Amino acid sequence: MAVAVRGSRVGGGSGVGSALRNFFSYRIFVSAMLSLLFIVTLCVLFSSNGSQHDGVILTSGNTYVQRTFQALNSDPIKTRLDMIQRQAVDHIALVNAYAAYARNLKLEISRQLKMFDDLASNFGDLQKKPNYRSALFESDGPLDEDALRQFEKEVKDKIKLARSLIAEAKESYDNQLKIQKLKDTIFAVNELLVKAKKNDAFSSLISAKSTPKSLHCLSMRLMEERINHPDNYTDEAPKPEFEDPTLFHYALFSDNVIAVAVVVNSTVRNANEPWKHVFHVVTDKMNVAAMKVWFKMKPVERGAHVEIRSLEEYSFLNSSYVPVLRQLENPTLQKFYFENSAENATKDVNNMKYRNPKYLSMLNHLRFYLPEMFPKLHRILFLDDDVVVQKDLSALWSIDMDGKVNAAVETCFGSFHRYGQYLDFSNPYIKSRFNPKACAWAFGMNMFDLDEWRRQQLTEQYHFWQNLNEDRSLWKSGTLPAGLVTFYSSTKSLDKSWHVLGLGFNPSISMDEINNAAVIHFNGNMKPWLDIAMNQYKQLWTKYVDFDMIFVQMCNFGM
């Protein structure tokens, strides 16, 4: 019994002590939790009050993190507002970066600079609107969800606009893109330039080589005059002066009536003894009547003599003797020179001028047959129809030719106008016989010693080279390369003042050089009788045109 009672006391006291300990532990735990909750509440309140005074867009890193932490733990609407603000801040930074680059590029993209500056300002102004500040940024209570949606819409619109402007202006700031675009532009422009050069060369060739309407009109009017008044234009017997070797003889080969008239007029007016000058004009059968009518209506002044003949009158000019005439019978050569397709004619701009059929005209190659044409003459001065004579030329008949056949003005200077530019020195015939650095000379005013020509048999030399060049393997075309090989060791150099060239293509010739020249030459495409002639030189030619001639007036020569 005693044991049982003792045990009962012990057990009762122990239960009471355990209950007391549990009670006090619970109170301590509750007090600690309440204290912790109180401290957290105070922290939240202090941080909330501090953030209400921040700017529209938080710029401090700590404040931004604090606001984000608060939004995440308090209100999902504030989280959404913070995300919108962050997007706006990012795009403001991007727009400002492009604006800074635009300032460095200065005036080239000033319009873009203004757009970027305005866009950056609009982002900031949007959030400073009173309705947004009061409803979203300065409100102590819950945020206005309608105002947030409207604010989000406006921000997204401005972000969309910013991205559009940046995408449009990106190529102005991407160097690699700019370089590639520039390369593409250069390539495209170069293609257009090449095409324009081809078209320009072809158009220039047509304008230079076609017969002007006024010149065609003049020939037709002269022919009409011959038909209407045949009795006034009967052929006269040859004059003895035409074969008198003691006189000064000229050779002119042309189908241009007014050009021949200018050469004759300018020579006679500047001659000291004009009655001693004899002009041998050779043309084709289409223009021979017009030539005769002109000089019948406008006789040469001061007693000079003019003989007009057709090249058909020279019976030796046939395909069995003349290589050029025989080559004209070759279909391949005819296609090369006479095809009229603009596309084919402009395949090679640099060599297109050599495709002109005039280089196969006998009027152009007639200069190589002077000894046969004038068997009784000792010397003759060859003149092109695009020259103007400004001084007396009689001294040329008394110069010492030093055993040479051709007296001409050399045209080389530096490395230009050397034999290497006219002949193909990859050909063994050319390479073994000529020096590529030898100086070239000009056709257009050439004194020929016909006796020495016959002795050296240079016409046969010309035939040899012309036959060898039938496939154009020695030179492209034209008479100058043929003359260079024919008279290679038989040319005497004249003083440059005798013959000044380039008035048909070079606008930089000094007037002093022109005024001191005995003969000026309008070689090139811009002939003085064409509309494309250079104005600074044209008057040198037109002053010898007979403007009082009735047919010149009727045909409206615009000179």
pLDDT value at residue 470: 87
Distances (CA, A) of 183 to 173, 186, 187, 443: 16, 5, 6, 46
CA dihedral 152→153→155→158, nearest 10 degrees, is 170
d(CA 251, CA 446): 10
d(CA 141, CA 78): 11
478 — phi, psi (to 5°)?
95, 170
In sign, the C-alpha dihedral spanning 71, 76, 77, 80 is positive
Closest CA to 443 of 422, 464, 420: 422
No. of helices (H) and no. of strands (E), the chain: 23, 10
Q: For 355, which DSSP code?
A: G
d(CA 328, CA 312): 16
d(CA 249, CA 288): 20
d(CA 243, CA 237): 13
d(CA 3, CA 8): 9
Both tokens assigned to 103: 């300032």
447 - beta bridge partners?
381, 407
d(CA 217, CA 278): 28
Q: Which amino acid is at 257?
A: V
Beta-carbon-side half-sphere exposure of residue 24 (alpha carbons within 13 Å): 5
- Crossing angle for the helix pair 76-105 and 145-169, to the nearest 10 degrees: 30
pLDDT value at residue 4: 41
Mean pLDDT by 10 residues, the chain (559 residues): 40 48 59 66 52 40 47 61 74 68 55 65 69 68 73 78 70 67 86 82 70 89 94 90 97 96 97 97 94 95 95 93 85 63 50 58 93 97 98 97 97 88 93 95 97 97 94 87 96 96 94 97 92 92 94 81
pTM of the predicted model as reported, rounded to 2 decimal places: 0.67
Cα angle 244-303-514, degrees, rounded to a multiple of 5: 95
- Contacts of 250 by beta carbon, 8 Å cutoff, 6+ apart: 267, 277, 278, 279, 280, 380, 381, 382, 383
Q: Which amino acid is at 395?
A: A
- Rounded to a whole number, what is the distance in angstroms from the first to the last CA of the chain? 161
pLDDT value at residue 173: 61
- Crossing angle for the helix pair 110-127 and 145-169, to the nearest 10 degrees: 170
pLDDT value at residue 29: 63
pLDDT value at residue 87: 74
pLDDT value at residue 384: 97
